Structure 1
Amino acid sequence: MPVVDIVQRSEKWFAWRKEGITASMLPVIMGLSPYQTPYQLWAELVGLKEPDDLSKNYHVQRGVEQEPEAREAVENEYGKPYMPVCVEADHEHLFRASLDGLYKLGSDKEVLEIKCPCEKIYNEILAMKGQAPTFQMYAAQVQWQLNCSGANTGRLYFYLRGKRPISTLIRRNDSFIEKAEKAAIDFWKHVQSNHPPKMIEGRDKVVYDTPISNQDNSWLERVEQYKQKSARHAELVRQSDAVKADLKQLESYFTEQIPSDVQTFKKDGIRATRVDKTGNVDYQSLLAEIEDTMNVVIPPELIEKHRNKGSTYFRVTIQKESSNQADVPIEQYQPKVEAEQPKQEATPLSVTPAEQFVPSSLLSGVENPTELEEAAPITAPIKPLAPGNFFEKSAQNHYF
């Protein structure tokens, strides 16, 4: 497990991530991410799509802010120091992971993955258990971290300020890792060959490359021509709008000279004619009133029968080039000191064993999940429950 001497969220870190398969990419590659598809990830890696800038996203900022709190909470609970490091797998340098924490004492190793979800996702995990897409995604991410670090266990820690943390111990699953490695290598071949992976129907609605753009040598030349002519057209439209505004002002001057009882005015080459135009019929309101007054319902099929044939067209626009901010500032966590309050009796919680959080098609040996209770908000400093409270039978081994 080579440890890479690099600062997370630095420019070098972003560059290092692009040179291999990271833990955050793995759920996307395996189709477990509800936020991104393999095709979209491929387009980013080959430079056809700008990565989404999440540095100003409220949920991302909240997660970055609360992560030190979560780290302090998990270290205090389990008495283990977790060091944030970047690692590469011994057997394949393409397999990489940026760990929120790594505990190592002799041959004992454990990775830590901290998630600070919004309340909606937190409640979704409590309600849906193993069916929660976000938990499936994060559990697969931890498995990749185990693969890269050589550790046998990982702790997936959900922390939301004001809620009781959810801590799940995930054990290494070599069967899942084998499938993940195969999918990762196959995806990386698509990146290296610039050949896109299969698109997902209903999700991949934007195409970032076409065969003609790779074969037609005049593609880039035509792109530049379009940009130049589009800019020229925009300038002409601006000038035309200014001229139209001047004409409108002059026309108003002329029409003000027409007496109210005269329809046409003609003088010195200017002819102004009053035109009376009837207003359009609001057919939506008309149909609604007919239904109301006559107590009838006009079926949608009848309306569609009288609809004119539609048309299809392409709207071509020019995207402005954007620069990504490599460094995301991390707000320093300052613990709040509050007056001591009487401790509330903790209600035992049970968390679904980790093996429930991966589709059955990927893993075997899945047991029935246990019920998970929603924790009530607390005002006293939060202290996670003991591991035994998170599992129905914590003394037994639970496998991812």
Structure 2
Amino acid sequence: MKSIDLAQRTPEWHQWRAQGITASESAIILGRSPYKTPWRLWAERTGLAKTADLSKNPLVQRGNRLEDAARQWFEQRYDTLVLPVCGESEEEPLLRASFDGLTDAGEPVELKVPSERTLRDVAEHGRAASAFRLYEPQVQHQLYVAGADKGYLVFYQEDQEPIVFEIARDAALIEAIVSQGKAFWQALVEEREPEKDPQRDLFIPKGPQADDWAVLAGRYSALQQEAKTVEAELKRKKAALDDIQTTLVAMMGHSLIAESAGLRVTRFCAKGSVDYAALLQVRLPELGGDAIDAFRRQSSERVRVTVQEHPQKAVIPFKARTAPNPIADDHGLAVATSFWF
């Protein structure tokens, strides 16, 4: 391994990472990440999409805060030093890693500070847990860069016993990491889009469609503003009606029906709705989700359109690339399609 003298999380470190494929990206490139697709990573790396800022995420902040404690725990438990370093593969310098630590024997140690729910899942399912599946390629990537035969994946909690997996070198997985990593890099260089996942990736109109989208987005935004004005007026009138109704009911005293001056007021009691979920839990606690789904009506598609008041500050602002005019989010319009079951 070629060691790189860089302090992690510095501007120079970010620049170095951008010049290759990092260990944390391998799971995404292999399609194992539930958080990001290969296309999304490609879009962020090419500047088509902005990476979400997770620095204020409580789980991320907690992980950064407890990383040193996790490292010290591992050092004491395994009687070794664990030094955070950066390195590149001697065989393929394109593949690089920022290690949470390397032991005295040069073995990678990847430290995770998960939520309690994730830790319980890992404790229950072990290597079959989704978190292990997600981080396994990261450790294998690090093994390739470090030239080591084994490494460690540590799930740390300050108030619980940490869970440690010793991970042996997997030649087949490493081969996939290297080959698909190089192919992904070539797609970056050539600005060639990976195939999109229509269920997870964004549709971005291009060419004439971008122009049509811009016109429709402008019309939608204007109509929505008009609708808000009408709705605000309607809300005020409903509030005035409610005030009059309250006064009329107070005038009626204990009477249930009143009529005068062309206005009839009827008071009645309506039965409350049944909380069927609570009913089933109490009466049939053994009834599983599959049994309930057998009686679920057919799913239906719904659409949510969001007008972004400041699209340049959005989490995912896009800039024009192939289209002559700004695309989707540059016009402040985002469309999401969801399926309800």
Give the TM-score normalised by the residue count of structure 1: 0.57
Structure-2 change in CA distance of 1:278 and 1:179 (3 Å): same
The residue aligned with 2:313 is 322
**CA 1:19/1:239 → structure 2, altered by over 3 Å: closer, same or farther?**
same
Partner of 1:96: 96
Which residue in the other structure is 1:380 paired with? Answer: none
For 2:203, the equivalent position in structure 1 comes to 209
Structure 2 match to 1:78: 78
Q: Give how far 1:165 is off.
A: 2.8
**What is the distance in 1 between the residues matched to 2:95 and 2:77?**
31
Q: Is the 8 A contact 1:46 1:194 kept in 2?
A: no
Offset of 1:69 from its aligned partner? Answer: 0.7
Does structure 1 retain, via aligned residues, the 8 Å contact 2:46–2:191?
Answer: no
3-state DSSP class of the match of 1:127? helix
In structure 2, stretches of 5+ residues that fail to align are: 248-258, 275-292, 316-341
Of residues 149, 152, 159, the one that matches 2:149 is 152
Mean Cα deviation higher: 143-152 or 28-37: 28-37
* Corresponding residue number in structure 2 for 1:53: 53
The residue matched to 2:23 in structure 1 has which SS? coil
Instruction: Report the RMSD for the aligned CA atoms in angstroms.
Output: 4.3
Contact kept? 1:23, 1:97, Cα under 8 Å: yes
- Residue 344 of structure 1 aligns with which residue? none
Contact 2:63 2:112 in 1 (8 A): yes
3-state DSSP of counterpart to 1:134: helix
Q: Which residue of 2 aligns with 1:196?
A: 194
Shift of 1:74: 1.8
Does the alignment pair 1:165 with 2:154?
no
CA contact (8 A) 2:100 2:111 kept: yes
Task: Provide the residue aligned with 1:22 in structure 2.
Answer: 22
Structure 2 match to 1:182 = 179
After superposition, the C-alpha distances for 1:97-116 in whole angstroms (9 at most, x for unaligned) are 11111246xxx522221122
In 2: Cα distance, 1:72 partner to 1:303 partner: 51
Q: Which residue is 1:109 aligned to?
A: 106
Deviation at 1:44, TM superposition (A): 3.5
Alpha-carbon distance, 1:208 to partner: 1.2
Return the alpha-carbon distance in structure 2 between the equivalents of residues 20 and 244 of structure 1: 57
Q: Describe the shift of the 1:275–1:29 C-alpha distance in structure 2 as closer, same or farther (beyond 3 A).
A: farther
Aligned amino acid, residue 313 of structure 2: S
How many Å separate the matches in 2 of 1:83 and 1:301?
Answer: 54
In 2, are the aligned partners of 1:33 and 1:133 still within 8 Å (CA)? no
Q: Secondary structure of the equivalent of 2:313? A: coil
Counterpart for residue 64 of structure 2: 64
> Structure 1 residue 19: deviation in Å?
3.8
How far, CA to CA, are the matches of 1:120 and 1:315 in structure 2? 30
Q: 1:278 to 1:50 in 2, by over 3 A?
A: farther
| Cα offset, 1:132, TM superposition | 1.4
Asked if the contact 2:24/2:138 (under 8 Å) is kept, the reply is yes
CA drift of 1:144 comes to 0.1
User: CA 1:92 to 1:275, structure 2 compared with 1: closer, same or farther past 3 Å?
Assistant: farther
Mapped to 2, the partners of 1:16 and 1:245 lie a distance apart of 56
Quick one: distance in 2 between partners of 1:164 and 1:77? Answer: 12
**Letter paired with 1:26:** S
1:10 aligns with 2:7: no
State the 1:52 CA deviation. Answer: 3.8
State the distance in 1 between where 2:296 and 2:91 align: 65
Q: How far apart are 1:17 and its partner, in Å?
A: 3.4
1:133 maps to what in 2? 130
| Rounded Cα–Cα distance in structure 2 between residues aligned with 1:301 and 1:2 | 57
Deviations 1:192-236 (A, max 9, x none): 44323363xxxx6243135xx33x2461x4454445444444544
Match of 2:139 in 1: 142
**Whole-angstrom distance in 2 between the partners of 1:60 and 1:317:** 28
d(CA) in 2 for partners of 1:253 and 1:58? Answer: 44
Distance change >3 Å, CA 278–CA 78, structure 1 → 2: closer
Task: Report the Cα distance in structure 1 between the residues aligned to 2:107 and 2:52, rounded to whole angstroms.
Answer: 31
Q: Partners in 2 of 1:79 and 1:194 — Cα distance?
A: 48
Q: Distance in 2 between matches of 1:227 and 1:71?
A: 51
- The alpha carbon displacement at 1:41 in A equals 3.3
- In the TM superposition, what is the alpha-carbon distance from 1:161 to its structure 2 partner? 1.0
Change (3 A) 1:189 1:65: same
The residue type equivalent to 1:262 in the other structure is A
TM-score (norm 2): 0.65
Asked which structure has the greater RCO (Cα within 8 Å, sep 6+), the reply is 1
- Are the counterparts in 1 of residues 99 and 110 from structure 2 also a CA contact under 8 Å? yes
Paired residues in the alignment total: 285
Cα distance per residue 1:309-329 (max 9 Å; x no partner): x986644333434377xxxxx
Q: CA deviation at 1:284?
A: 7.1
Distance change >3 Å, CA 144–CA 226, structure 1 → 2 = same
